Amino acid sequence: MVNIRLNLFIPFSFLIYLFINCKSNILESSNKPNIVIIYTDDLGYGDVSAYKKGTLKTPNIDKLANEGIRFTNGYSSSATCSPSRYALLTGIYPWRNAEAKIITGGSLIIDTSQVTIPRLLKQNGYQTAIVGKWHLGLGLNEIDYNSKISPGPNELGFNYAYIMPDTQDRVPTVYVENGKVVNLDPRDPIEVDFKTNFQEQPTGKANPELLEMKWHHGHNGSIVNGIPRIGFMKGGETAKWSDVDMADHFLEKTKSYIKNNKDKSFFLFYALQQPHVPRTPHPRFKGKSGMGPRGDAIVEADWCVGELYKTLETEGIIENTLIIFSSDNGPVLNDGYYDDAVEKIGNHTPSGGLRGGKYSLFEAGTRVPFISYWKNRIKPGISDKIISQVDILSSVAKIIGTEYKSQDGKDLSGLILDNLGTGRNELILEATSRTAYRHGDWVMIPPYNGKEISKNVNIELGNSKNYKLYNLKDDPSQKINLSNKNLQKLEQMIDNFKRIRGVKNTNTKDLILE
Ligand code: NG6
Ligand code: CA
């Protein structure tokens, strides 16, 4: 009798033990989901077909958008790359840091003691990685690409970093893995100069006969793989990347990182290089969009997103992974090369009908695709609440159960996970160090000197002699300036703007910052 009871008791208690243990595992793992930020480069609001604006098809990004939350008022923190990435990783507005401007071979612009997304996650038990475009500077002074390059992503909290240092159009055209140039032969050291060419080295300007892609403005320095770049480089032949294989290469690194870390909680910053110039999709994507290399590069990026998704699925971790998809700034067609982006655009609208584009203070500069996805956790939905990439750090902090709040970021975890809450009521917009202000449906752009339109890229920059005031609800493409009609609103907006920007003097002329 005693024996039978004992026998029954043991399996029963074992079941209870299993139940409690399993439950706590589930809780633990959903408290610490893997976090993947997929970050494209210069992808516009209208470039993702789920936004129903353009004609290009992006089925894999659409899946995330349609089965997750698609934000229609999601912003990057700047209309260019380095400042946007700065704000994303630190949760601090880029205009607070004078160094947070487009980088060309410069040093690291994030202080190594700064709290960043990877650092916070690492401190909370995560494995952390970046694969793709960095563009936040490297080193403290002049970079020597032949020895260990530091500080960089590893010193900001990334356990693993496989990066392109700046952009695809800048030298040196090499990958850097954890501070070391990949495949570098020490007998052929790399030299880099952004002012002066090295003796007898061909350039885009002097040797048009060597070019497979022609430059339109800028981009007439060293030639690598038939493409003229910004800056000059010599040596490092074995380390030079293959442009058409870049997407596959980053994807492979991403996949193996996921496979190697699937049993741990990890943060992956997958920073794709598309569709930034030079647009060099793999030949298997040639002609797929009918829009030339820009469209084909987006089709390629979309395919990469699908492959990443499949990997998470195959490895059995898709239901424990929060994915945030966005872009670092708005779209541009001609950003310095003749590549048919303008000629073959057809009816597609990269900006989705918003005014401006990359470099612009108008909406298309910073309003970008913004999606959160977590299989069987996030319910499909659309949100028109205002959310910015500067909020991701504070929101992620909350999601993993910490109380950290960055200087400018809000905890919008409720919005990201459950489509709950009001989002931001106000936001400072930034484009090449100029700033504007959004409050509710209203946008105020102060006067700035400088050209109204950049002729090179053919984009309205948002500069003018007068204040501009728009109501986005009635006028999403910012055609009607209400600053004269609605003086009271304008004044209120200027006051709010000054409060955040720290401009003390109420004399409005002080706002002409350029
Ligand atoms: C500009 C480049 C542009 C692009 C941009 C950075 C010229 C004339 N233009 O200076 O082609 O590289 O910098 O783009 O050189 S970003 O998306 O990384 O901010
Ligand atoms: Ca960019």
May I ask the CATH class of domain 4-101+110-135+149-164+242-424?
A: alpha beta
Given this model, what pLDDT does residue 445 score? 98
Calculate the average pLDDT of the chain.
93
Beta strands in 242-304 (DSSP E): 266-271
335 lines ligand 1 (CB under 6 A): yes
Atom 15 (ligand 1) nearest CA: 218
Ligand 2 centroid from CA 329, angstroms = 5
The 10s digit of each residue's pLDDT in 195-244 is 999 999 999 999 999 999 999 999 999 999 999 999 999 999 999 999 99
- What pLDDT is attached to residue 504? 53
Q: Does the beta carbon of 80 lie inside 6 Å of ligand 1?
A: yes
Q: Which of 230, 332, 337 to mutate to test the pocket of ligand 1 (most atoms within 8 A of CB)?
A: 230
Percentage of the chain exceeding pLDDT 90? 91
pLDDT for 23 equals 37
pLDDT at 26 over 50: no
In the predicted model, is pLDDT for residue 18 greater than 70?
Answer: no
CA–CA separation, 462 and 459 (whole Å): 9
Return the beta strands (E) in 213-262 as ranges. 214-215, 223-224, 227-228, 232-234
Q: Mutation test of ligand 1: which of 82, 205, 214, 276 has the most ligand atoms closer than 8 Å to its C-beta?
A: 276
- Indicate the range of 18-27, 247-256, 321-330, 379-388 predicted with least confidence: 18-27
Mean pLDDT for 74-86 is: 98
Vertex 304: Cα angle to 300 and 306 (nearest 5): 115
Tell me, what's the pLDDT at 25? Answer: 38
How many helices, marked H, and strands, marked E, lie in the chain?
10, 24
Q: Is the pLDDT of residue 111 over 70?
A: yes
Mutation pick for ligand 1 pocket among 76, 80, 339, 368 (CB with most ligand atoms within 8 Å): 80
Question: Is 169 touching ligand 1 by the criterion CB < 6 Å?
Answer: yes
Report the DSSP pairing between strands 180-181 and 191-193: unpaired
Q: Position of tokens 């709040």?
A: 405
Residue 225 neighbours by CB under 8 Å, 6+ apart: 173, 212, 240, 242, 243
480 CA to centre of ligand 2 in angstroms = 28
Q: Return the residue whose CA atom lies nearest to atom 10 of ligand 1.
A: 102
- Continuous H helices in 124-245: none
Ligand 1 atom with least separation from CA of 329: 17
CA nearest ligand 1 atom 5, residue: 102
Residue 277 in contact with ligand 1 by CB distance below 6 A: yes
* Ligand 1 touching residue 43 (CB < 6 A): no
Centre of ligand 2 from the C-alpha of residue 147, in Å: 28
CA distances from 423 to 90, 162, 388, 410, 412 (A): 19, 34, 9, 9, 6
User: Which ligand is closest in space to the CA of residue 42?
Assistant: 2
pLDDT digits 0-9 by tens, 266-311 = 999 999 999 999 999 999 999 999 999 999 999 999 999 999 999 9
Q: What is the pLDDT of residue 8?
A: 44
Q: Atom 18 in ligand 1: which residue has the minimum CA distance?
A: 81
Q: Which of 241, 240, 242, 220 is nearest to 231 (CA)?
A: 220
From the CA of 277, give the closest atom in ligand 1: 11
How many CB atoms within 10 Å of residue 393?
A: 28
Distances (CA, A) of 346 to 96, 279, 283, 292: 40, 18, 22, 11
| Domain residue extents for the chain | 4-101+110-135+149-164+242-424, 427-510
CATH fit for domain 427-510, picks 3.90.1210.10, 3.30.1120.10, 3.30.300.30, 1.20.1440.120: 3.30.1120.10
Token look-up 């793992």 returns: 29
Does the Cβ of 276 fall within 6 Å of ligand 1? yes
Q: Ligand 1 atom 11: the closest Cα is on which residue?
A: 335
Q: Is 424 in the pocket of ligand 1 (CB under 6 A)?
A: no
Q: Using CA atoms in the order 52, 53, 58, 62, what is the torsion angle rounded to 10 degrees?
A: -30
| CB-ligand 1 contact for 135 (6 Å cutoff) | yes
Q: Which residue, by CA, sits nearest to atom 17 of ligand 1?
A: 81
Cβ of 81 closer than 6 Å to ligand 1, yes or no, is yes
Q: Which of 7-16, 32-41, 305-314, 395-404 has the lowest mean pLDDT?
A: 7-16
Q: What is the pLDDT of residue 502?
A: 85
Mean pLDDT, residues 472-501:
97
pTM: 0.93
Res. 509: pLDDT tops 70: no
Judge whether residue 248 has pLDDT over 90: yes
Q: Is residue 134's pLDDT more than 80? A: yes
Going by pLDDT thresholds of 50, 70 and 90, the confidence category of residue 181 is very high
